[in-house]
Structure 1
């Protein structure tokens, strides 16, 4: 199986920025502990503080799908429900 890479960015509503930033620390830790996670980076853009650049690598499609499933059911999934996502997924 081949590696899955997700890259892009998210846009946070200004009124939710602080709660997203607080939960991001927990979300990063949990993701990096997942089986199959090779790389996970979410960084606040220096020019637009409401934009966070995202880069993820997983060993295969199964690991990536498990990550997506966990995220949807997590506190991060609830906190980021209003976040605008702009991703490209490469397999």
Structure 2
């Protein structure tokens, strides 16, 4: 992963409670990936299913805090967020030095 000074990295997991949640992620993820990767300042954005079908690994890297904050605001108003908001997230956010 790119380690740029001032960049913001989010790492963690999306933990589905049921296969219904997994279906929601599968349905809404392609558009979410496309929109996020097109955002100004998005260096990388990956959401990948792990060996546990209910758990998804999330890795995001944005050029700076402003780009990360823009992503968070856009996401909160998206179909992705509406559809998946009840799925627990366990994330760590750090600014790279």
Specify if TM > 0.5: yes
Superposition pairs for residues 6-85 of structure 1, below 5 Å? 6-14=10-18, 15-46=20-51, 48-85=52-89
Q: TM-score, normalised by structure 2?
A: 0.89
TM-score by length of 1: 0.94
Uncovered stretches (5+) of structure 1, i.e. residues with no partner = none
Cα-to-partner distance string for 1:34-75 (whole Å, 9 max, x where unaligned): 0000000000011x1010000000000000000000000000
Q: How many residues align?
A: 90
What root-mean-square deviation, in Å, do the aligned CA atoms of Structure 1 and Structure 2 show? 1.0
Flag structure 2 segments of 5+ consecutive residues without an equivalent.
Answer: none
